[in-house]
Amino acid sequence: MQLSPKSIAVLPFVNMSSSIENEYFCDGLTEEIINALAKIKELLVTSRTSSFYFKNKKVTAKEVREKLNVATFIEGSVRVSKNTMRITVQMIDTLDDFHFWSETFDRNPDDIFKVQDEVSLFIAEKLREHIGHLEIEEKLVDPIDVPIPIYRDYLKGRYYIMKLDVDNSLKGIAILKAVIEKVPNFINPYLDINQSYAYMGTLGLLPAHEAFTKAQPFLEKAIAIDLNSSRVQLNLSWIACWQHWDIKKAYEHANNALEIQPADDIYLTISNYLTVEGKLDSAHNYLDKALQLDPFSAMNHHYRGFLFYLQEQYDKAIPYLQKALELNPDLPFPPLYIGECLLFTGKHEAAINYYKSLKGVPVSDLTQLGGLAMCYAKTNAIEKCHEKMVELETYLQSNNIDKAFNFLILVNVLLGNYDKAIDFVEQAFKNHLPLVILLNVEPIIKPIKNHKRFKDIMLKAITDNVNYKQKKKYKQALLDPSEIKKYSKELEQIMMDYKLYLNPDLSLKDLASYLELPTNYVSQLLNLGFQKNFSEYVNTFRVMEFKERVLLDENKGLTIMAVAYDSGFNSKTVFNTFFKKIEGITPNAFLKSKSN
C-alpha cells in the first residue's frame, strides 16, 4: 500500500514519573490526541490499537513507516510533579528519519482538557506546515464538565479495561461505575463499560447473554446523554444489524458514525454488513481502509482471512487467520476457520490434529467439538461424527446455543441431511440467533441455498435480502419520447447532486428509488435515453470523477487504484476495462499524458 503524505501515528507517551497514576494520564493523553487528530477529515490517523502496539518499545522511524505505513509520527513524554506538568512532544518524518520539530509544554496539571486541546492543535498546525493544507477546527478537544480528580479516576478505569482480559476489565468497570455515581451525565464511562462487556461476551470471556444483558443499560444511558456521539451511533448500528436484522438501518447508523469521526472499527463494521449481503469484493475494499488505519488489529486480520474463507480461497485465508492469533492469542474466531481451511483443502488429518490440539477459550466456545464433528462428517467417520453431534445438541439449552446451532447446521449439510439442516436453520431463526443472517454467505451450506424452505427463512430474516429477493413482475411498458427526455434530465441532475456513483454498491434498484419508477422502467430509460446499460452509465460518471481526483495535489501520494476506489469503483478489472473503453487509453497512459 502506497504511503500517503497525510498520514500520522501517535505513539504512546512515555511516563517520566515514578507514579503509576501518571501512567493512566500518559495513555489518556495519547488517546485524546489520536481522537482529536482523527477529526481532521483529510488526515489518516493510525488507531489506538496499532499505536499502542509500540508501548514500552524502542522503535526506529523505518520500523514505524514499515509497520504502520505512515509518513510522520509523534512521540513524547510526560513528567508530573505536585504543581507542574511537563509534556515534551516531537514530530518525526518516517522517510528521512528527520525530527522536524520538538516542543515542550510546562503547564498546570489541573488544566488537563486545555492542555490536551493545546497539544493537539499545535501538532495539527505543525503537520499542516509540513505536509500541506488541512482543514482544522478551532478546537479539537472539547472540555468535559468533570472535576479533574474524577477525570483521573476515569482514565484509571479505562487504563484497566483496555488491557482486555477479564480480571483487569472487571477492575476497570468497577472504577468506572464509581465515576458514574459521582458524575452521572459523563458519557464516556457508560460507553466504555458497554464496550468492555460486549467485548468479553463476543470473545467468549463471559457468557454472551450475560455480558450483553449487563452492557445494555449502559448503552441506553449513553444514548440518552448524546445520541450524536460517534460511538453511540456505532453501537446502534450493531444492534440494528445483529439484534434487529435491519441492514438498512444498520448502514444508516454506521454512516452517521463515519461522518462524525472516521475510525477503523466503523470501516470493519460496514465490511461486516456488506458480507451479510454477499458483496464480498466491496467488503474487502472497506476492510482495506480498516487495516490502513489499524494494521495491528487482530480482528481486522481475522476478518480478512474470514472473507477469503467465504470466497473459498483457503490458502490465502490461513496466513491472515494465523496473524490474527499472533496479535491476540485469545481471539476465539480464527481457530475455527484455520481448521476448516485445512479440511477443505484436503488436509483431513491435519485438520483433525489441529482441532484436537486446541486449548483454552476455543474449547469453551465449542470450536474443538464442532470442528471435529465437521472433520468426521467430511471423512465419513459417521459413528465419531454422531457422538459429537449428540454432544453438540446438549448445548442447545446453554449460553452456547448460537455456536451449537451453527455447527449442527453445517455438519448436517456435510452429511447430506439437508432437511435436518434446514430444521435447525428454522429453529435458529425462531430463537433470533445472529448466525442466521451469516448463512447467506457460508460456503458449506451451498447445497441447501436453493431449497424453497431455506429461501423463505432467509427472506423472513431480512425482508430485502438481495440474495433471495423475489423479483416483481411488471407489465412491459416502454416510455414515450417525452417521458424519456424528462426522466433522463432528472436522472442526470440526481447523479450530479447526490453523486450516487460514489457508492460502490449502487444498484439499478437504487436509481429507480430516486426516480420513483419501477426498476425495469429505469433499465429501459438508460437503454433508450443514453444508449447504455446500467454499468456503462454509472461507470462513465466514475471515470469522470477519477480524472478529476487523480490530478488533485492532495491525491498525488495515492495509488491509481486508491483514487479509483474513492471514485466509486470496487474492482480493479472493471476500472481498467471501463477507463480504456471510454477514454481509449489506460489510466497510466492518461496520467503520464497529464504530467508532460
Query: Is the distance from CB of 439 to CB of 410 less than 8 angstroms?
Result: no
Amino acid at residue number 455: K
| Residues pairing with 103 in the sheet | 89
pLDDT at 341: 97
Q: Which residues of 539-577 are buried (b: 16+ CB within 10 A; e: fewer)?
A: bbbbbebbbebbeeeebeebebbbbbbbbbbbbeeebbe
Cβ neighbours of residue 434 under 8 Å, at least 6 residues apart?
242, 243, 402
Domains and CATH numbers, the chain: 7-131 (3.40.50.10610), 148-226 (no CATH), 237-461 (1.25.40.10), 481-595 (1.10.10.60)
pLDDT at 361: 55
d(CA 199, CA 502): 33
Amino acid at residue number 170: L
pLDDT by residue for the chain (596 residues), tens only, comes to 567 888 899 999 998 887 777 888 888 889 888 988 888 878 889 988 889 888 888 889 999 999 999 999 999 999 887 778 889 999 998 988 888 888 898 888 878 888 888 888 888 888 888 777 778 887 777 778 888 889 889 989 998 988 878 889 999 999 999 999 999 999 999 999 988 888 887 666 777 678 888 988 999 999 999 998 888 999 899 888 888 888 889 999 999 998 888 888 899 999 999 999 888 888 888 898 899 888 988 899 999 999 999 999 999 999 999 999 998 887 888 999 999 999 999 999 999 999 999 876 556 678 999 999 999 999 999 999 999 999 999 999 887 888 899 999 999 999 999 999 999 999 999 988 888 988 989 999 999 988 989 989 988 888 765 555 544 433 444 577 888 888 888 888 888 877 888 888 888 887 887 777 777 788 888 888 888 888 889 999 999 999 988 888 878 888 899 889 889 888 888 898 888 888 889 998 888 888 76
pLDDT at 470: 46
pLDDT at 208: 67
d(CA 455, CA 453): 5
How many residues are there in the chain? 596
Cell numbers for 142, please give them. 472539547
pLDDT at 474: 37
DSSP string, 27-92: HHHHHHHHHHHHTSTT-EE--HHHHGGGTT----HHHHHHHH--SEEEEEEEEE-SS-EEEEEEEE
pLDDT at 472: 40
Whether the pTM exceeds 0.85: the reply is no
Amino acid at residue number 409: I
β-strand pairing of 72-80 with 85-93: antiparallel
pLDDT at 239: 84
